[in-house]
Structure 1
């Protein structure tokens, strides 16, 4: 029953539970553990762009709907994609208000993660806090008192380890109790603004809020007024914002600037001051030696050595793509050659047998022959994401991309472009500014997608046969081809970023997750999902083109000559067909 997108309340009034949290806190992993849904798990920020919904069985409530909300550090928004978070948890039009919100926090980065918890509480939402990765606290030299944290926040706080499935039963019981008695999870405001100028700004904005946003709740109206003051400005891309609300926020911002007030800082500092003042009651930190992650980062994030290691790793990956997939590709080609011959021999000679053997069978073979390299590529990408190395590469590449006018987050879509340009373009939705998204979308198709691998394979095999030279010759040549396409994409981005899409630079904020072992079920699921998309979408086009080529090669038919077959042209035609799809 897993589905994606906007969901309307069912006729029976099914209860709804939203699961929110910062990026890289294990939110989607917890969602998968609770529901068995096949959500994407990764280490780069904002991986869950769409809202996934799946059923969750709770004792005393039956089946409820669990909704995976886009990862966000706060409810403040600048883009339409970021606006999804406030819409999903606050129930702003066109989405419905959830009955309870589970906020997943990283226990090793507690104070920063609790900022979002305060915002959810201020919205008068029933909240349950899931304290994830609680098993890593000792390694960071921290001790957490969950009961003391509950007393300060006024909401249930449940320790869990999502990757291992620990604490899920207690979390489900806390959710069930919160749905049965929402008041126990809705304590009211913890931090209360006391600056008279800020209170005046809040009251002015409250008057212009649509009545349906607050539902007559003054605490909720105050929270939404603060959201508007933090989110609305001249450069935001938010939609469905009343003009009068925009006007009053713009006026208050200008007055604050004229009086040398930092409006954003006043609001953000107020919440963090409240958290810092109470952190000692529930969190204790002791001196700890440098963590393994810090020691590894000294090498992998080094400006010169780290980049050299990255290039060496990519060469190994490309060599593995070429050498590792080659035997399987040979088996697939041999199998479909045998199958085509067997089918052709079993059927009566004629046009139909030729179509089946050299059109359909050869066409299916021309699709499946790409799978070994695509599966290997997604395997490596999944491992890089789950181990935490992908974020490090994004940090390294930001130095290059910043000089070319690209945002650091553009690295993830561009790297995904090595697999397929379609999901890579979709991945640009995690970027804040429309200018950055558009610039990245324009250059992603210049990256070498996986469908071009067979073309490169044929060229490399022709120029450097396996076993004829050093063992890494093929990998180096393949890496060179990929590097050339990447350089062309970066040059195009530099030209476009300085001419047609010229704009100011924005800072690149990136959280470095700790290194960890890959979550293999998630990696395998990702490989299956991505390869399925390729077979269904690209495969149908390749199959249709192969059959069309069979028709063009077979007609007009001449009795005096042997019929041409699409299968005989596979080696020279199929890669071009695949590459042409993008």
Structure 2
């Protein structure tokens, strides 16, 4: 391979096991100069950053985390293709940076050994040295470098330590000849690879892939090289013959790889790794014995989740009040500056009211994402996955499915994409179909609006637990429980398969990095604001138009205007006579007349007509046409329901009482037009929340399901069964709640 020193731009590939700090290193090196997309032809995420070092530009490619370069999934195949220079949109790597954890060096070197066999310059970034030393393990980086024949650089990416040394090592490695490829496999195996290479010389396959053909018992590589069926049958016969010859000399495949690589690792680490003491390790083991205990671990998990959701309400109150007051002041300025008419109504009620009704929930989303990131960074969520494996097994899945489901609590889209790590297609499809049932951050505005407006703010245990937090936790549990039942049914019917075995590495306990936590919060917060500024803004304007037009004719409006004028005249007369009681009655009459006019205009509108058309269908849920219209409008994205309610209930007007949000107060004041009874009650609020906890109101998620499965059958099934579940769940919630007299 040619030396890359004469190139002005290098491609640097980052590869490593999960939980080794690879993504943290990528963020520390590239900062904000990152681009995220997909590799062509697959939905595997591609993350590319830029680094400038000594006047040279680097394109830093963060490859999916993997334990080996034996491709059995789309993620692993993309990693191998990039490292071999077979990915069309990524230049062949000039240097490969292998990220290895000092605490699990032997297992991490398995991947390093495979990377060395690719024949490209390699640099090993040794992470988590402090955690390894706390557990009594010390790695001699210089000795390991001599043993491997490549640079080994200890780093602490969270603190920025060792990054300049790593950059210098990458620069030196790219300018030097590639390292010598280690001879890991025994001679009989290498001879069979040579024979197979002679047969396939017309295919121009890298030697590494030819080795994998012999080792790959699942025929994944055969599927990728694109042979015609007769040629494939002939190749399959030659591979079978080669494996038989190897078995006769004691080199049974694929066991020969594990044996050979760990023997090479043992030689490479001899005299390099020392184990002085085990104080830290014993402490971690004691902590694990509690956090992963069947009873105590489950109780701790429940308590952690409950405190997390309680904090979402208690910590966000003040910043939410600031945001609400800001939008109210902005609406007041616009309202005072413009004459009455459709333009003012659009700006105040449609745009400011609709977008503001959603943006107010930004503090709660930031708090939730921040707390979940802290739990993930300190290593606790991996323990939660272990605990959940016991439950997942009962529904036919494993803890491997828990990771995508956990990602879905932030957003179902990366959760669905994360199912690529699941090798069994039926398990992967099952996980994809239940992932949207996890309550993503888009549902949080719906929950917090209804809980804040209708669930009493009662506190227990000296203020540590709140009824509102309990209700929020219950909404999340609704999705979890229903997802478990759905998985059980799917795995026992048309997606039947054996329950997979779950193997997972427990990451070391460590203090969360404030930089990582803040960056994750800012990323999710920006995504939320971007949606509020684009999708929600557009939908708010469209919903305002559908709710505003067509207007009532002057003939239809005249009797109602006359009633309002008579009430206003009564009010003026009462004020002139200083009759406070009569003035109060007259004010109520004026408000009733104005509400009557507004309600008639809304019912006349296109959205009102659509809502009234489906009102018989949603009335058993405790909803009227306004709630039904908001549900219809929320199909592009669930959080749009809040902005649509803001438009429908006209939060641009001054309806605020001190200490309460404008939309919350408007919902509390809403009544049924025919009876005057409150529209929203606790059963109705719970019904709305349960509906949105279970519904499939997210067209982006359905599109990603289609891309991941390659068929519209699965997103159609997801939409159909989730909508049916949402309706039944909302119906039972309202009817039972009303029967209990909630």
With structure 2 as the length reference, what TM-score do the two structures score?
Answer: 0.69
Match of 2:478 in 1: 484
| Number of the residue aligned with 1:43 | none
**What secondary structure sits across from 1:143 in the alignment?**
strand
The partner residue of 1:188 within 181, 193, 197 is 181
In structure 1, the residue matched to 2:387 is 396
- Tell me which residue corresponds to 1:428: 419
CA contact (8 A) 1:417 1:448 kept: yes
Please report how far the alpha carbon of residue 323 of structure 1 lies from its aligned counterpart in structure 2 after TM superposition. Answer: 2.9
Q: Is 2:262 aligned against 1:277? A: no
RMSD value over aligned CA atoms?
A: 3.2
Q: Provide Cα deviations, 1:248-304, integer angstroms capped at 9, x if missing partner.
A: 357635874896974111112111012213422322223423533222111101111
Aligned to 2:526: 532
Distance in 2 between the 1:469 and 1:139 partners?
40
1:200 CA displacement? 5.1
- Find out whether 1:298 has 2:292 as its counterpart: no
Q: Which aligned pairs between 1:345-360 and structure 2 lie closer than 5 A?
A: 345-360=336-351
> How far did 1:229 drift?
2.8
Q: Structure 2: which 5+ residue stretches go unaligned?
A: 36-42, 562-593, 599-646, 652-662, 671-684, 699-742
Which of the numbers 209, 227, 234 marks the counterpart of 1:224? 209
Q: Is the 8 A contact 2:359 2:532 kept in 1?
A: no
Aligned to 2:602: none
Q: Provide the rounded CA distance (Å) in 2 between the counterparts of 1:427 and 1:301.
A: 24
Matches within 5 A, 1:315-354: 315-354=306-345
Partner of residue 495, structure 2? 501
Aligned to 1:121: 116
CA change 1:266–1:379 in 2 (3 A) is: same
CA shift, 1:232, in A, is: 5.3
Work out whether residues 25 and 132 of structure 1, in 8 Å CA contact, stay in contact via their aligned partners in 2.
yes
Q: Deviations over 1:65-119 (max 9, x none)?
A: 2221221111001111210111111212434321111111111211211111111
Alpha-carbon offset, residue 213 of structure 1 = 4.9
Cα 1:290–1:151 change in 2 (3 A) is closer
- Cα distance between partner residues in 2 of 1:446 and 1:250: 46
Give the aligned length: 555
Matches within 5 A, 1:8-407: 14-37=9-32, 50-59=45-54, 62-94=56-88, 95-183=90-178, 186-194=179-187, 196=188, 198-199=189-190, 201-209=192-200, 213-214=204-205, 221=207, 223-231=208-216, 233-234=218-219, 239-242=224-227, 244=231, 248=235, 252=239, 256=243, 262-291=252-281, 292-407=283-398
Q: Secondary structure of the equivalent of 1:502?
A: coil
CA distance in 1, matches of 2:421, 2:21: 18
- Work out which of the two has the higher radius of gyration on C-alpha atoms and give 1 or 2: 2
1:494 positional shift? 1.0
Decide whether the 8 Å contact of 1:146 with 1:158 is kept in 2: yes
The 5 Å alignment of 1:543-562 reads: 543-558=537-552, 560=558, 561=561, 562=594
Asked whether the 8 Å contact 1:107–1:133 carries over to 2, the reply is: yes
1:163-208 Cα shifts (integer Å, max 9, x gaps): 222222222222111122124xx122242423x3x34542343245
Q: Work out the CA distance in 1 between the residues paired with 2:129 and 2:489.
A: 47
> Which whole-Å CA distance do the structure 1 matches of 2:135 and 2:183 have between them?
28
| Aligned-partner Cα distance in 2 for 1:405–1:253 | 34
Distance 1:147 1:534 in 2: 46
- Are 1:105 and 1:129, in contact at CA under 8 Å, matched by a contact in 2? yes
Compared CA separation, residues 469 and 550, structure 1 to 2 (3 A): farther
Q: How far did residue 14 of structure 1 move?
A: 2.2
